[in-house]
Amino acid sequence: MATTDMSAPLPGTDDAHATTLGLANDKMAMWTFIGSECLFFGALISTYLIYFGRTNEGPAPAGIFDIPFTSASTFILLMSSLGMVLALAAIQAGDMRRFRTWTMATALMGATFLAGQFYEFSVFAAEGFNLTTSPFSSSFFVLTGFHGLHVALGILMLLSMWAASMMGRLPQQLHTTVENIGLYWHFVDIVWIIIFTVVYLIPAAITIAPPTG
Amino acid sequence: MTAIAERPTTTPRRSVFRRPTAETGPWSWITTVDHKKIGILYFVTAFFFFLVGGVEALLIRLQLAQPGGTLLTADQYNQIFTMHGLTMIFFAVMPLGAAFFNYLLPLMIGARDVAFPRLNAFSYWVFLAAGIFLYSGILLGGLPDGGWFNYAPLNLIGPNPTLGVDPSAGSPIPEHVQRMVLYSIGLQIAGIASLASSVNFIVTVFNMRAPGMTLMRMPIFVWSIFVTSFLMLFAMPVIGVALWQLLFDVRYGTSFFNPASGGDPVLWQHMFWLFGHPEVYILILPAFGMVSEVLPVFSRKPLFGYSAMVFSMIAIAFLGWGVWAHHMFAAGLGPVANSAFGLSTMFIAVPTGVKIFNWLGTMWGGRIRITTPLLFAAGLVGMFTIGGLSGVTHSIVPHDWQQTDTYYVVAHFHYVLFGGSIFGIFSATYFYFPKVTGRMLDEKLGKLHFALMIIGFNVTFFPMHILGLWGMPRRIYTYADGMGWNFWNLVETIGAFIIAAAILVFMVNVTRSLRHGAVAGNDPWDARTVEWLTTSPPPPYNFEEVPHVSARDEAWHRKYVSDGSQAPRRVPAGASPDHGTPDDASPGEAAVPAAEAPAHGPAHDGASAIHMPSPSYYPAIAALGLPIAGWGVVAGGAVQVALLVLGGTIIISGLFGWVLEPSAEDH
Ligand code: HEM
Ligand SMILES: [Cu+2]
């Protein structure tokens, strides 16, 4: 929303330098917002780490996570960042058709990731691991759930951009808007890399090689 | 000033609504994106909440005036003291600060508006929605009742576990749970408002400064906005996560804070205070900034130690993240943690002390003019110092064990919050009233207001130190006779009514002065910063020509010359050689009397025609969706789904309308 705020100078004109620091307002706003989001996910991840061992005799991390499956969906999400980069490059080059293709591809990859998460959650539920099982399960679902919500919002923005472009309402000068949405999308990806490492990989590694002593 | 210009797009676009055009009347306020109007909205709304919180305080004091008070039941008392705290912190002091941020930030840095005017309007409407949402508990299952910090596991079981599902209310959600949902979602919504404004203000300070306005030339109040915004930016997500976790616990059966299912109630305390201590600086730093503007003007001296003021503020903001566990000395964290946090708490008093000495240094040797703004500012310096010192006594752990959860703590935080923040806000109110309204507040009534307030304040809160040290716990709805507490409690209640009288005097003053106050002119106080160069009230575009800034106290340097050897000499506007750049376009602005200033737009139009952002319906619409979705969670059952969908739809369509909104020129 902030990205098309009227006060933002359009790029490609000298207005881009009319701000005191020469950085467009909306891009700075996105960075600032991302700073805030770091604390949001930081707090969620800390909670997860604190409740790591509190499983209430329910499933423990090592027993429940399916690393190969989640690795695959992680890979798809990472590739979506590549799609985002290509979409931005396309609109910057003025190739609107290619821009739409990559925007749609990015959104679809994001959706695939979400579908994977949905599937994973339903498998967990079937195995008796749900929101209320234990502090561990609560912190797992709330953390990954909020991440999923961020992905969903990103997809909504990507699809809106795609639709706007189809209707001819996304002029090429608005490539900074695309850039800002891209910033958001990459951020959400990076958060997932951290989650994947902290939530899935490290616990799995710990079980493979139990600490001695 | 392209940065604020509404830009015509090449393709004409359509929107559901035409862009609103009202310039007067209620619609102009609902759709406004002018930072000055938004600032006024913030002030009026927050002052209303201040009165509500004040009435709650009077009820608390009436109940405690005598032992065995029967005015309120325990349940009512719990709701009222909780709402008093929440109201004063989130709906009075924070938004009163935001009112001044909004009004003054662009004026002080020589901009025409903030970076994102519609986002700014959105913040206001979201804040209002949060207040209405929280207070809607009056009509639902009751108001939050666990204190402003709402400790676990009390927040899960409730102070009164017998409060069950009320079949007559027709809601499947127990009353206690409803209250916690109101708390959780209400503060969450308020947090969104703070987050949006912090992003907006940070970008504005970085990017919208007038030519020559370097960071170290910014008025100190702008620095306080800047630092406070960063604190909000990073503190809000922390409480946000804790509030979500609480919501999931009470409403959807998770076990974050529930010891019965393996959760850790102390985690709530950590999360709350990790937010809570930065929050107290969010409450006080704006007031520090305000008095740092007022004291130099009435001492007729520049601010003493400007850079020390800036860096101590930054130091406070950093250290503020490392002291939270001083609220948890009694939680059993162990001697190492307690000592560490005790030490860091003592450290944070150092930059705070630097500020106090700088204010004294500012007044020292100045030719002081005793005006109401000065009195309130000096009041802050005195009262805050008492509060800061009692804060340092809390940092000594064994000492704190004696004081914690007693009235001594209540005394501490009222000396910093009332004696600090509220005094600072009143100082700024008297100082800026002429700029905002064009008329002066009455000085006689103002001084009466100050006298009543400082007496009432000390009569109310000083005895709390004594009662606290004698062991009177806080958050009790009544106490037995024969504890030796009767006398001071009665005194405190009398003091509270003296404060109420002071506030009445203020309201009379405002009402009278709006109509009959002396006409102010541009610069009634002989002030130092650029907002006094423009008319009072300023035109929608703030400055006809954006001022070029060449000094820290730009306005002062345009009025005076000083060679250091003798007292500064006043010069005709524009003739000051101190005032640097020869290419400065608008040397004479300070001299333009209000009446001669153009009323309907800049005189020399031409190429530099000033486009101001058009009003918009969408910020208010998008904000409306938030409480609606929230009420769904309060209600539960089928209503929940319906209201969540409705609220979500309103938010999303509001945002789509916002993004796709054409600019006014398209019509
Ligand atoms: C010199 C700086 C300060 C120090 C050393 C300090 C220290 C403390 C300590 C140790 C406590 C915990 C007392 C207890 O519960 O046992 C406390 C409570 C509190 N302080 Fe401060 N403080 C300082 C400044 C401030 C400021 C500037 C504000 C707000 C404007 C503030 C607001 C509060 C509040 C609201 C509480 C009570 C919270 C509650 O339990 O509800 N303090 N302070
Ligand atoms: Cu604190």
C-alpha B234 to ligand 2 mean position (Å):
16
Shortest Cα distance from B48 to chain A (angstroms)?
A: 30
SS (H, E, C) B114-144: CCCHHHHHHHHHHHHHHHHHHHHHHCCCCCC
Residue A155, SS3 per DSSP: helix
Interface check for A35 against chain B (CB to CB < 8 A): the answer is: yes
Determine contact, residues B505/B448, Cβ cutoff 8 Å: yes
Task: Answer yes or no: do A47 and B208 touch at CB < 8 A.
Answer: no
Q: What is the mean pLDDT of residues A23-37?
A: 95
Tell me what pLDDT residue A52 has: 84
From chain B, the residues in CB contact with A134 under 8 A are 255, 261-262
Interface check for A15 against chain B (CB to CB < 8 A): the answer is: yes
Whether A113 is covered by a domain: the verdict is yes
User: Which of the ligands is closest to the CA of residue B473?
Assistant: 1
Ranges under pLDDT 70 in chain B: 1-18, 159-171, 563-566, 572-609, 663-667
**Does the structure show a pLDDT above 70 at A200?**
yes
Whether A161 is covered by a domain: the verdict is yes
Tell me what pLDDT residue B28 has: 86
Tell me what pLDDT residue B576 has: 54
Tell me what pLDDT residue B229 has: 97
Determine contact, residues A75/A200, Cβ cutoff 8 Å: no
Residue B567: CB partners within 8 Å, gap ≥ 6?
Answer: none
Residue B647: CB partners within 8 Å, gap ≥ 6?
Answer: B625, B626, B627, B628, B629, B630, B631, B632
Determine contact, residues B238/B324, Cβ cutoff 8 Å: no
Task: Answer yes or no: do A35 and B234 touch at CB < 8 A.
Answer: yes
C-alpha B391 to ligand 1 mean position (Å):
6
Task: Give the max Cα distance, chain B.
Answer: 81
Task: Answer yes or no: do B3 and A33 touch at CB < 8 A.
Answer: no
Residue B592: CB partners within 8 Å, gap ≥ 6?
Answer: B522, B535
Tell me what pLDDT residue B666 has: 39
Distance of CA A122 to the CA centre of its chain: 21
First to last CA, chain B: 22
Which among B207, B264, B546 is the top mutation candidate for probing chain A, defined by the most A β-carbons within 10 Å of its own β-carbon?
A: B207
Task: Answer yes or no: do B271 and A6 touch at CB < 8 A.
Answer: no
From chain A, the residues in CB contact with B242 under 8 A are 43
Residue B369, SS3 per DSSP: coil
Name the pairing type of β-strands B569-570 and B560-561.
antiparallel
Q: Which residues line ligand 1 (CB under 6 A)?
A: B 149, 280, 283-284, 326-327, 345, 348-349, 352, 388, 391-392, 394-395, 400, 403-404, 409, 412-413, 416-417, 420-421
Closest to A1 (Cβ–Cβ): which among B208, B209, B655? B655
Closest to A9 (Cβ–Cβ): which among B2, B13, B660? B2
- CATH code of the domain covering residue A152: 1.20.120.80
Which among A3, A4, A5, A6 is the top mutation candidate for probing chain B, defined by the most B β-carbons within 10 Å of its own β-carbon?
A: A6
C-alpha B276 to ligand 2 mean position (Å):
7
The complex's ipTM?
0.89
Instruction: Read off the tokens for B237.
Output: 């997500």
C-alpha B498 to ligand 1 mean position (Å):
25
Q: State the count of interchain CB pairs (< 8 A) between A and B.
A: 151
A 36-95 residues with CB below 8 A of B? 36-37, 39-40, 43-44, 47, 50-51, 54, 56
Task: Answer yes or no: do A21 and B7 touch at CB < 8 A.
Answer: no
From chain A, the residues in CB contact with B250 under 8 A are none
Whether A72 is covered by a domain: the verdict is yes
Whether A16 is covered by a domain: the verdict is no
User: How many whole angstroms separate alpha carbon A189 and alpha carbon A80?
Assistant: 9
Shortest Cα distance from B56 to chain A (angstroms)?
A: 33
User: ∠B240-B395-B269 over CA atoms, to 5°?
Assistant: 25
Interface check for A34 against chain B (CB to CB < 8 A): the answer is: no
Tell me what pLDDT residue B559 has: 84
Rg value, chain B, Cα = 25
Closest to A131 (Cβ–Cβ): which among B10, B252, B271? B252
Domain limits at A96? 25-54+67-204
* φ and ψ at residue B163, rounded to 5 degrees: -65, 100
**Does the structure show a pLDDT above 70 at A3?**
no
Q: How many domains does chain A have?
A: 1
User: ∠B463-B464-B467 over CA atoms, to 5°?
Assistant: 90
From chain B, the residues in CB contact with A138 under 8 A are 245, 248, 254-256, 263
Whether A3 is covered by a domain: the verdict is no
User: How many whole angstroms separate alpha carbon A48 and alpha carbon A46?
Assistant: 5
From chain B, the residues in CB contact with A5 under 8 A are 115-119
Tell me what pLDDT residue B550 has: 87
Segment (H or E) for B561: strand B560-561
User: Which of the ligands is closest to the CA of residue B398?
Assistant: 1
Residue B68 CB-density burial (10 A; 0-12 exposed, 13-18 middle, 19+ buried): exposed
Tell me what pLDDT residue A23 has: 87
Paired strand residues for B473: B406
Count of CB atoms within 10 A of residue B13's CB?
12
**Does the structure show a pLDDT above 70 at A17?**
no
pLDDT digit string, tens, across residues A75-119: 999 999 999 999 999 999 999 999 999 999 999 999 999 999 999
Tell me what pLDDT residue A79 has: 96
Of B269, B192, B241, whose CA–CA distance to A39 is shortest?
B241
Tell me what pLDDT residue B663 has: 58
| Residue A40 pLDDT level (bands cut at 50, 70, 90) | very high
User: Which of the ligands is closest to the CA of residue B403?
Assistant: 1
Residue B221: CB partners within 8 Å, gap ≥ 6?
Answer: B100, B104, B108, B286, B289, B290, B292, B293
Interface check for A28 against chain B (CB to CB < 8 A): the answer is: yes
Q: Whose CA is nearest to atom 3 of ligand 1?
A: B391
Whether A46 is covered by a domain: the verdict is yes
Q: What is the mean pLDDT of residues A31-57?
A: 93
Residue B105, SS3 per DSSP: helix
Instruction: Read off the tokens for A48.
Output: 């997860």
Residue A128, SS3 per DSSP: coil
Task: Answer yes or no: do B256 and A5 touch at CB < 8 A.
Answer: no
